[in-house]
């Protein structure tokens, strides 16, 4: 029964350029599963649909392989359908799974994915709600961390000298290395971390009470630190990049609320309160 299909296949199928001849009737049945009848014409159309660029091969072998692939797929689909028919609980579970996948896909399209890729919409949302994203009081500070026993009084004097000369933090590290004659692997001896901190974000900075200038050495968990509080910052608006995570989350909630509002306005819906109450109680 496959011979009729084999005869109409040409090498063009291996360059994804073959079409079922209009004159091909292919009415003979190849196999039947339940109410499904699969004909020679169905096989030919299947080959036309799934053909792809590939190395040419013996056409009868090619057709037979495609036939087996399609037949296996049809049998599995039929078995799944019958399984759901015979087992009601399984059908309910599968339907719920399919509905869940559908809801996820739609929500991803209109809410989650949009909130990430719609940069213009996100920016407009941020502009309209800018005052919701504010920095609290902050300290602009640099923390110098010391990992080995060195003379902290000398270290503080070096840092003070660097401040007076308006040296960068990196340059102050070089000054410390020179002072203590450390020629390599300075990171094993000391490093620094600069940042702008709200209260509670950095306990070392908080121990200075945010007093401007250089602190006395501070010891926490057997490690020494010296802090420079450069300035105290008053509350100010965050930029979009600074608030990107929370803004994106809020934008998702906004899109979801708008989407639900649209659905309620355009579609009829009903709630089975008995089922709802059985879930919530």
C-alpha neighbours within 13 Å on the C-beta side of residue 40: 16
What is the C-alpha radius of gyration for the chain, rounded to an integer number of angstroms? 36
**193 in any annotated domain:** yes
Nearest to residue 8, comparing CAs of 61, 32, 44, 50? 44
Q: Are 142 and 224 found together in one domain?
A: yes
Q: Which long-range contacts (CB under 8 A, 24 or more apart) does 103-112 make?
A: 107/256, 107/259, 110/255, 110/259, 111/252, 111/255, 111/256, 111/259, 112/252
In whole angstroms, what is the distance from residue 84 CA to residue 92 CA? 8
| pLDDT score of 87 | 66
Query: Is 245 in a helix, a strand, or coil?
Result: helix
Q: What's the domain count of the chain?
A: 3
Q: Which two tokens stand for residue 206?
A: 């908080």
CB 228 within 8 A of CB 162: no
pLDDT tens for each residue of 124-143: 999 999 999 999 999 999 99
Shared-domain flag, residues 194 and 156: yes
- What pLDDT score does 84 carry? 64
* Per-residue pLDDT at 77: 83
Query: Token pair of 195, please?
Result: 């940042």
One domain for residues 194 and 220: yes
Which CB contacts under 8 angstroms, 24+ apart, belong to 56-60? 56/11, 56/14, 57/14, 59/6, 59/9, 59/11, 59/13, 60/2, 60/6
Report yes or no on 249 lying in a domain: no
Note the pLDDT of residue 31. 87
Say what the pLDDT of residue 108 is.
83
pLDDT along the chain (281 residues), means of 10: 88 93 92 86 93 90 90 84 69 74 82 84 94 96 94 95 95 94 88 96 96 95 94 96 92 91 88 82 68
pTM here is: 0.56
Do 192 and 222 sit in the same domain of this protein?
yes
Write out the DSSP string of 66-113: HHHHHHHHHHHHHHHHHHHHH-HHHHHHHHHHHHHHHHHHHHIIIIIH
- 64-106 pLDDT, tens per residue? 899 989 888 888 888 777 776 666 676 677 677 777 788 878 8
Range of the domain at 71: 3-86
Residue 15, in any domain of the structure: yes
Rounded CA-CA distance 209/3 in Å is 90
Same domain membership, residue 74 and residue 59: yes
Give a yes or no: residue 256 inside a domain.
no
């Amino acid at each position: 029964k496959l011979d009729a299909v084999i005869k109409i296949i040409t090498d063009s199928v291996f360059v994804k350029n073959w079409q079922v001849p209009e004159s091909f009737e292919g009415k003979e049945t190849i196999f039947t599963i339940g109410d499904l009848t699969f004909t020679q014409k169905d096989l030919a159309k299947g080959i036309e649909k799934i053909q792809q660029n590939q190395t040419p091969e013996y056409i009868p072998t090619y057709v037979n392989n495609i036939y087996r692939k399609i037949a296996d797929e049809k049998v599995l689909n039929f078995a799944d359908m019958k399984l759901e028919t015979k087992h009601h609980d399984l059908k309910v579970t599968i339907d719920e799974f399919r509905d869940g996948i559908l809801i996820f896909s739609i929500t991803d399209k209109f809410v989650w994915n949009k909130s990430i890729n719609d940069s213009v919409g996100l920016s407009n949302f941020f502009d309209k709600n800018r005052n919701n994203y504010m920095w609290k009081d902050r300290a602009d500070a640099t923390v110098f961390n010391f990992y080995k026993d060195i003379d902290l009084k000398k270290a503080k004097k070096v840092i003070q000298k660097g401040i007076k000369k308006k040296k960068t933090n990196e340059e102050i590290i070089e000054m410390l290395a020179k002072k203590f004659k450390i020629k390599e692997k300075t990171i094993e001896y000391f490093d620094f971390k600069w940042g702008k901190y709200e209260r509670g974000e950095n306990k070392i900075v908080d121990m200075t009470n945010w007093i401007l200038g250089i602190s006395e050495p501070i010891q926490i968990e057997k490690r020494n630190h010296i802090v420079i509080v450069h300035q105290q910052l008053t509350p100010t608006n965050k930029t979009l990049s600074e608030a990107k995570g929370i803004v994106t989350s809020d934008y998702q909630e906004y899109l979801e609320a708008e989407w639900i509002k649209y659905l309620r306005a355009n579609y009829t819906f009903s709630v089975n309160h008995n089922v709802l109450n059985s879930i919530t109680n």
